[in-house]
Chains A and B, each alone.
Chain A
Amino acid sequence: MSTRPPVSDWATDWDHLDPRWVEDPYPIWDDLRQTCPIAHTNRFGGAYLPTRYQDIRAIAYDTQHFSSRKVAVRDVHPPNDRGAPPITSDPPRHRLARLVLLPPFTPAAVETLRPGAQAICNALIDAFIDTGGCDAAAEYAQHIPLKVMAHLLGVPESDGDRFRAWINATLQEGATDQPALMRALEEMTEYFRAPMLERRKNPGTDLISYLVQQKYPDGRLLTDNHVLGSVRLLLVAGVDTTWSALGAFIWHLAKTPEDRRRLVAEPDLIPTAIEELLRAYAPVTMAREVVAETEINGCPIKPGQMVLLSFPAANRDPAIFPDAERVILDRRENRHVAFGLGIHRCIGSNLARMELAVALEELLRRVPEFGLAGPVTWSKGTVRGPRRLPIRFG
């Protein structure tokens, strides 16, 4: 672990890897929104932190001044030839990379994965239900998207430990540890190269097979680099995110018995409640690189700097969400931006919603009573969620 100087002033020296931010970022954002809505830091080579919904929204839509070629605020960045289209793409190249990935993730396509997800959740619950408690992050939440993704990509579930290590190296250690980041990128690339080449010869029904058969407008097949970049993206973006959201939801229900009992009594409310929990505990913070000078809300924005694009902070803006700090399970008007805004809207949002609904339904059905049983630890960096979440049943 690198040692980082403590933050002296959140408005001029913010650091999303600071332990206070990792533990509880919401009061920091609430304060900045009032006092300094576009904060700045000289850390990470210089980066802005907008905390108001309207400013975050404006930046998400402005692909002319804000590039996605770097999508995390970190000490080190992967080289440009290791991009993961379309998340690291800008217009006009973004469009094709995105269109190719959309059909496998429509609500109808995702619906076919629901029975598999239900079986995965129940097998996990079987393993701990008689033990009186579990680590809901390590023994439940993290496995669900991992197993669904392995199935979707057509690679063995038993390689899950390796996937977890790469995801962790990319999103957590990778923020400050260049060798760990590069090693994970290379290992992932090599791991998927063989199945990709194999699918080029003998395509099956999995997502890698689908991707190797997709073409550019000029009729050429997607390049190996493009396919491998998109596969890395799906693995890294499709697992940690949902696992973190689910962990945070279970954490909320463990410490808020009235909300948990309400969902047990009214399971039909679960889809609406998931939207509210996504608003309140949105796990994903993206970033942009400023590529041309501009102004946001009167604040000059300089090229070469990064912007931390905190969709979680936008979701807590009381100007848009009344009682923003409260979780209101049946909140009816909810334009939350947990999955982002504009052309980079999370491709996996339908998959995530399905997994979150199944995971909560099955857990609440089989373990209706539970509470926190010890200290919770949170991840840091691009994705926020509990990494240790001990709960006791009954």
Chain B
Amino acid sequence: MPNPKTLRVRVDANKCQGHNRCKAVAPELFELDEYGNARASGDGRVPPGQEEMASLAKSNCPEFAVEVIEE
């Protein structure tokens, strides 16, 4: 069996405008700064079982600022 893929989330700080949708749909994967702008929690690694939440964070961002990267 091949190794399972690792997923990471990433927030493009130049695009994020603080809509807070990623934090709402995937609260463990994102954190907010003092202005309410988002960044990935820790190293952005998506724990098993949260893949769908990562994908929802991406598809609910109005600014297209959230990326989900396969490694």
Which residues of A are in contact with B by a Cβ distance under 8 Å?
Answer: 99, 102-103, 105-108, 271, 275, 332-337, 339, 341-343, 345, 349-350
Q: Which of B19, B24, B56 is the one whose CB lies under 8 Å from A333?
A: B56
| Residues of B with C-beta under 8 A to A343 | 17
- Residue from B17, B35, B60, B64 within 8 A of A103 (CB atoms): B35
Whether the pair A107, B35 counts as a contact (CB closer than 8 A) is no
**CB-CB contacts below 8 Å: B8-51 with A:** 17-21, 23-24, 32, 34-36
Residues of A within 8 A of B21 (CB): 275
How far apart sit A342 and B61, CA to CA, in the bound complex (Å)? 12
Q: Do B62 and A341 touch (CB < 8 A)? A: yes
Q: Measured between alpha carbons, how far is A103 from B35 in the docked complex, in Å? A: 5
Cross-chain contact A106 with B61 (CB below 8 angstroms): no
Query: Given A102-B35, A106-B36, A271-B24, does the pair A335, B60 have CB atoms closer than 8 Å?
Result: yes
A349 touching B61, Cβ below 8 Å: no
Known: A105-B36, A333-B56, A341-B17. 7 other contacts (CB 8 A): A102-B34, A102-B35, A102-B36, A107-B32, A334-B60, A335-B60, A341-B62
Q: Once the chains are docked, how many angstroms separate the CA of A103 from the CA of B17?
A: 13
The distance from the CB of B9 to the nearest CB of chain A, in whole angstroms, is 16
Is B17 a contact of A350 with CB atoms below 8 Å?
Answer: no
For the side of the interface on B, what is the size category?
A: 10 to 19
Of listed A103, A105, A337, A350, residue having the most chain B CB within 10 A? A350
Minimum CB–CB distance for B54 against chain A, Å: 13
Across the interface, do B35 and A335 meet the contact criterion of CB distance under 8 Å? no
Partner of B17, one of A105, A107, A108, A345: A345
Could you say which of B23, B60, B64 has the most chain A C-beta atoms within 10 Å of its C-beta? B60
A335 touching B20 in the complex, CB below 8 Å, given contacts A103-B34, A103-B35 = no
> Do B63 and A341 touch (CB < 8 A)?
yes
Query: Which residue of chain B is the closest to A337 with respect to CB atoms?
Result: B62
- Whether B62 lies near A336 (C-beta < 8 A) is yes
Sample of 9 A–B contacts (CB below 8 Å) = A102-B34, A105-B36, A275-B21, A333-B56, A335-B59, A336-B62, A343-B17, A345-B19, A345-B63
Q: Which residue of B lies closest to A343 (CB)?
A: B17
Instruction: Judge whether B62 and A335 touch: CB under 8 Å.
Output: yes
Q: Which residue of the partner chain A has the closest CB to B16?
A: A345
Q: Which residue of B lies closest to A346 (CB)?
A: B19
A350 is contacted by which of B36, B56, B59, B61 (Cβ under 8 Å)?
B36
Question: Which of chain A's residues have a CB closer than 8 A to the CB of B24?
Answer: 271
**Which of A106, A336, A349 contacts B35, CB < 8 Å?**
A106
Q: How far is the CB of A211 from chain B (nearest CB, A)?
A: 16
* A289 CA / B49 CA spacing, docked (Å): 47
Complex interface: chain B residues within 8 A of A339 (CB): 19, 62
Are B20 and A107 interface neighbours, CB within 8 A? yes
User: Looking across the interface, which residue of chain B has its beta carbon closest to that of A349?
Assistant: B19
B34 in contact with A106 (CB, 8 Å): yes
Q: Chain A contacts of B56 at CB under 8 A?
A: 332-333
In whole angstroms, how far apart are the Cα atoms of A76 and B36 in the complex?
35
Q: Which residues of A contact B35 (CB under 8 A)?
A: 99, 102-103, 106
Nearest-Cβ distance from residue B47 to partner chain A, whole angstroms:
20
Q: In the complex, how many angstroms separate the beta carbon of B45 from the nearest chain A beta carbon?
A: 23
